[in-house]
Amino acid sequence: MDKTKAETSEGVVSIIINIVLFGLKIWAGMVTHSIALIADAWHTLSDSISSVVVVVAAKLSARKADKEHPFGHGRWEQIAALFIAVFLGIIAWNFLKDSILQLKGGEAEKVVFGTLAIVVTVASIILKELLAQYAFYIGRKTESESVRADGWHHRSDALSSVVVLIGILFAKQFWWIDGVLGIIIALMLFYATFEIMKSGITKLLGEQPGPELIEKITNEIVKLYSSDMEIHHFHIHNYTTHKELTLHIRLNKDFTIKKGHKIATDVENLIREKFDLHATIHVEPLDRS
């Protein structure tokens, strides 16, 4: 799967569907005089902004390495994911604030909803969840943080439409249900914001490889060189378009520089071929005396 094309496709599809849904919700809101539907329409339009960010980030991250950026531009995806996470957090805060104000007011929604509002809201829920699943699928295939973040943004809109739908169906019986559900969804969105930011920041700062990957790399190195060697200090630097691995190896202190260099080069080539990681190895003396 071509990473740039897949990310761009996800962003373009999202933009088109969001604009169509925005028009439908605005129309339904104006016909039914529903402030909730009109607000939900603008929330849907806000998703288009995050999708535009995904498309722009995909184009920027695909640029080749240059003199100023020798490791490429892949980290634009993490930057875009952080931008979307902040945007998602703002939406969650607005959900929380509006829900609390509604509960404090203690009054039922006075808008009279009709069949049109229900149909448009149900259609929005289905389409937005499908978009979320599509984004999550592309995100898994391409390992794109910005696309995954866009998927959560789609889901946030689907959840907001669920709140509107429940409010439409049960507002007369339970005046408080819309506010309580709004608070629950806001907390879910805050959690999604936290997870997106945590993942993006971790990759920007550099991460410790998992124990399973370390074990696999170590086993392959031992197969290549069964001589006395210690391997430690693993770190991964994720540039999205490629990953850099740094590690230290301790070799017999009596080895020549030439032999130590050959061993390090062989291990770097092994890691690149077996694990698709660009390795840089620091050689240290092993003194067991």
pLDDT digits (tens, 9 = 90+) for 207-238: 667 788 888 888 888 888 766 688 888 888 76
pTM tops 0.85: no
pLDDT at 111: 47
Tens digit of each residue's pLDDT (9 = 90 or more) over 105-162: 755 445 456 688 788 889 999 999 999 999 999 888 887 777 887 888 788 888 878 8
Q: What is the DSSP string of 35-103?
A: HHHHHHHHHHHHHHHHHHHHHHHHHHHTSPP-SS-TT-STTHHHHHHHHHHHHHHHHHHHHHHHHHHHH
The CATH superfamily label for domain 3-204 reads Cation efflux protein transmembrane domain (1.20.1510.10)
In percent, the amount of the chain with pLDDT more than 90 equals 7
Q: H-helix or E-strand containing 138?
A: helix 115-142
Q: What is the pLDDT of residue 71?
A: 59
Please state the domain extents for the chain: 3-204, 211-286
Given a contact cutoff of 8 angstroms between Cβ atoms, the answer to whether 236 and 245 are in contact is yes
Instruction: Specify the fold of 211-286.
Output: Alpha-Beta Plaits (3.30.70)
For 16-74, what is each residue's pLDDT tens digit?
998 898 899 888 878 776 656 666 777 777 677 667 766 776 676 666 666 666 555 66
Given CA atoms 51, 139, 24, 40 in this order, what sign does their dihedral have? negative
* pLDDT in the model for residue 132: 92
